[in-house]
Structure 1
């Protein structure tokens, strides 16, 4: 039983190290793009498709004033465009600009390429087990999110 506890602690420690490394990588990417970290997180959300300022606020947990400032920064840097709705001119949709989207995707491809290169010599069976273990770890994190509940300001899922 002690061995299982040690193995679980090793998994937890690895998860913490992964989180710290991803945080550093986010900082490096943000610096390369010349944006704040929240801006980068917002751009990752906008990569999924057009959204409204309200949806972006719910996703980030930021106030409407903070989201307006964030959108202003992203628009000034050429990352997003505001598009007025046809049916309701008061509604605004945020669209990520194709050129800057290409930059984001190129950085993602660079990171993925480096990871693929690093793992190129790892045996297939070990990669399969690693994938399964990371899937289980992700499920544990999803469970934790459900336990703690959504971020303040995030609408409940229907």
Structure 2
């Protein structure tokens, strides 16, 4: 495939199709991995998604979390109740506004999640060793742009 140049439109289309197919395969494999991890932790898929958002963006308000997860606030209440009962998150009063609630991940329980993903993280470390710094920068940029394209597409679907 490396012999395909920008001057070969059919070859380029095949490569674009291969990239999209690989992203679909990756999405599927990550979904399977997340289901396995969620099953071990007795968490539903939406619970895992919300926990990931809280860990990455927290402390975060329930409203901001619902918006980021694309979930209805009533659905969010059940998810947060499950995560709190299982010890994954804490609901805390905001210092600036005592009426406001912020969600924070509990580090000890987050470590349990990371432990279950440790094999995949090791696989990714090994995979990344085969790429130069410049290639990794290109891959990181591409994946960030893919995520942004997904956010835009999701936003457009949500508007309709």
TM-score tier by shorter-chain length is 0.7 to 0.9
Partner of 1:139: 145
Partner of 1:37: 45
String of CA shifts for 1:86-107, please: whole Å, max 9, x gaps: 5544321112112101112333
Relative contact order: is structure 1 or structure 2 higher (C-alpha 8 Å, sep ≥ 6)?
1
Matched, 1:26 2:28: no
Partner of 2:71: 62
Q: 8 Å contact 1:57–1:64 — kept in the other structure?
A: yes
Q: Which runs of 5+ in 2 are unaligned?
A: 1-8
String of CA shifts for 1:47-91, please: whole Å, max 9, x gaps: 122111111111112111111111111111111111123554432
Partners of 1:121 and 1:93 in 2: CA distance: 38
TM-score w.r.t. the length of structure 1 is 0.78
Q: 8 Å contact 1:79–1:100 — kept in the other structure?
A: yes
Change (3 A) 1:41 1:120: closer
Partners of 1:32 and 1:79 in 2: CA distance: 14
For residues 112-151 of structure 1, the aligned pairs below 5 Å read 112-117=121-126, 119=127, 122=130, 124-125=131-132, 128-129=134-135, 132-133=138-139, 135-136=141-142, 138-143=144-149, 145-146=151-152, 149=155
Q: 8 Å contact 1:46–1:95 — kept in the other structure?
A: yes
For residues 63-82 of structure 1, the aligned pairs below 5 Å read 63-82=72-91
Deviation at 1:23, TM superposition (A): 1.1
Q: Secondary structure at the match of 1:47?
A: helix
The alignment's C-alpha RMSD in Å is: 2.7
Deviation at 1:121, TM superposition (A): 7.3
Matched, 1:3 2:34: no
Q: 8 Å contact 1:75–1:81 — kept in the other structure?
A: yes
Partners of 2:94 and 2:157 in 1: CA distance: 28
Deviation at 1:14, TM superposition (A): 1.0
